[in-house]
Amino acid sequence: MADETPVFQIQRMYLKDLSLEQPNSPQILLEQAQPQVDINLAMGAEPVADGVFEVTVTATVTTKVKDKVLFLVEAKQAGIFEIRNVPDEQMQGIISIVCPQMVYPYLRAIVSDVCTRAGFPPILLTEVNFQAMFEAQQAQAAAAQSGNGSRIITGAN
């Protein structure tokens, strides 16, 4: 008889992708106007082996002065998780809520550090309620299947 004990383990956390652009430097650095900051988050999950999943959280931070980009940071933090013998009805919640909650603090630190190293004040990403995001996505998917045309937009701004 095979061991049916539920397993949830972090195998590895790592920075998958990082990009910093300052397309209008150095001229824009002389501007004295208050920059506008736009932050977008995205999540992804893919199986990499039987019972092993890669979960990613991506932050795209666009900072503009007037209509010109001051800087753009895109960072994708990933984690590899072993998840076995978990009931199917719980699996999506673990992958969409629990795993991103573990990955996100690393992403927050990276974005803040990159902004500081680029010579700007740190951008501090706010806490994210991944459960609320997951529930909104579920509601959006249900609405799309029923064809009622309502849309729920998720993300942080």
Give the tens place of pLDDT for each residue, 30-64.
888 889 999 999 999 999 999 999 999 999 999 99
pLDDT digit string, tens, across residues 119-144: 999 999 999 999 998 888 888 888 88
Name the nearest CA neighbour of 53 among 17, 11, 24: 11
48 domain residue, yes or no: yes
38 domain residue, yes or no: yes
**Residue range(s) defining the domain that contains residue 55:** 7-126
Instruction: Map residue 94 onto helix, strand or coil.
Output: helix
pLDDT band, very low/low/confident/very high, at 156 (cuts 50, 70, 90): very low
Name the nearest CA neighbour of 57 among 102, 10, 87, 94: 102
Q: Are 29 and 81 in contact (CB under 8 A)?
A: no
CATH number at residue 114: 3.10.420.10
150 domain residue, yes or no: no
d(CA 18, CA 77): 9
